[in-house]
Chains A and B, each alone.
Chain A
Amino acid sequence: GQQLNQSPQSMFIQEGEDVSMNCTSSSIFNTWLWYKQEPGEGPVLLIALYKAGELTSNGRLTAQFGITRKDSFLNISASIPSDVGIYFCAGRLRYGGSQGNLIFGKGTKLSVKP
């Protein structure tokens, strides 16, 4: 089935540093989403992207929908301790499959040292 390759798997950074993570796929997606999950909780939606080339910000978070429709990245600027968690990319396919369900990457685990 379709897979999303998310990297890096984990990051250990100092507070105040910028963070970048990305997702790639062999399939074309018509929607890219970024979620954050904390231990014992469900994923929380951070940013949604709907157009190739779209660049969207949410506070210190910025995400882009790749021109080829096969990738997306998420940047976090000036990280703080509460940014700790697992970040997931998720995509919705353009052709075939359900119009509804999302395909998730394996996540990027972010740790921030104060």
Chain B
Amino acid sequence: DTGVSQNPRHKITKRGQNVTFRCDPISEHNRLYWYRQTLGQGPEFLTYFQNEAQLEKSRLLSDRFSAERPKGSFSTLEIQRTEQGDSAMYLCASSSVQHEQFFGPGTRLTVL
């Protein structure tokens, strides 16, 4: 069990570009969550999967954001046409019925 992993750890992009982040959850966890964290704030919920089904999306998840978990294992979060306000840490967490949410190290996005 290597924990939740996220790639890349850092991403710098220019405004208007698309970016994609990947999350690999703990292998036996069937639930996967995406959160966004800005400086000085706690994480804010974006979306949640149970296996491959996306069960909830926050109003924070604009139509420029899309998340997938095609085989119920890893997940990707894509942001299209990035804006400076998208600069944040994007955190992934996984859980199971027996285990609470464990977080990955995050992907720090900087939009220039």
**A41 to B37 Cα, complex, angstroms:** 11
User: Interface size class for chain A?
Assistant: 20 to 34
CB-CB under 8 A for A48 and B100, given A41-B105, A100-B33 = yes
**A113 to B41 Cα, complex, angstroms:** 24
Output the least CB separation between A90 and chain B (Å): 7
CB-CB under 8 A for A45 and B56, given A100-B48, A101-B45 = no
> When the two chains form their complex, are residues B45 and A103 in contact, meaning their CB atoms are under 8 A apart?
yes
Least CB separation from A98: chain B residue: B56
Output the least CB separation between B33 and chain A (Å): 6
- Judged by a CB distance under 8 angstroms, whether A107 is at the interface is yes
Task: Enumerate chain A residues within 8 angstroms of B75, measured Cβ to Cβ.
Answer: none
| Partner pick for B42 among A48, A100, A101, A107, CB 8 A cutoff | A107
**A42 to B48 Cα, complex, angstroms:** 17
| Partner pick for A45 among B45, B91, B101, B104, CB 8 A cutoff | B101
Output the least CB separation between B110 and chain A (Å): 13
Least CB separation from B47: chain A residue: A101
Q: Encode contact with B along A1-38: 1 for CB under 8 Å, 0 otherwise.
A: 00010100000000000000000000000000101000
> When the two chains form their complex, are residues A104 and B106 in contact, meaning their CB atoms are under 8 A apart?
no
Output the least CB separation between A65 and chain B (Å): 14
**A101 to B93 Cα, complex, angstroms:** 10
- Judged by a CB distance under 8 angstroms, whether A67 is at the interface is no
- Judged by a CB distance under 8 angstroms, whether A43 is at the interface is yes
Q: Encode contact with A along B98-110: 1 for CB under 8 Å, 0 otherwise.
A: 0011111110100
Q: Encode contact with B along A38-67: 1 for CB under 8 Å, 0 otherwise.
A: 001111110010000000000000000000
> When the two chains form their complex, are residues A90 and B55 in contact, meaning their CB atoms are under 8 A apart?
no
**A6 to B40 Cα, complex, angstroms:** 13
> When the two chains form their complex, are residues A104 and B105 in contact, meaning their CB atoms are under 8 A apart?
no
> When the two chains form their complex, are residues A104 and B42 in contact, meaning their CB atoms are under 8 A apart?
yes
> When the two chains form their complex, are residues A42 and B42 in contact, meaning their CB atoms are under 8 A apart?
no
Known: A100-B31, A101-B58. 12 other contacts (CB 8 A): A33-B101, A42-B4, A42-B103, A45-B101, A88-B42, A101-B45, A101-B48, A102-B43, A103-B45, A104-B42, A104-B43, A105-B42
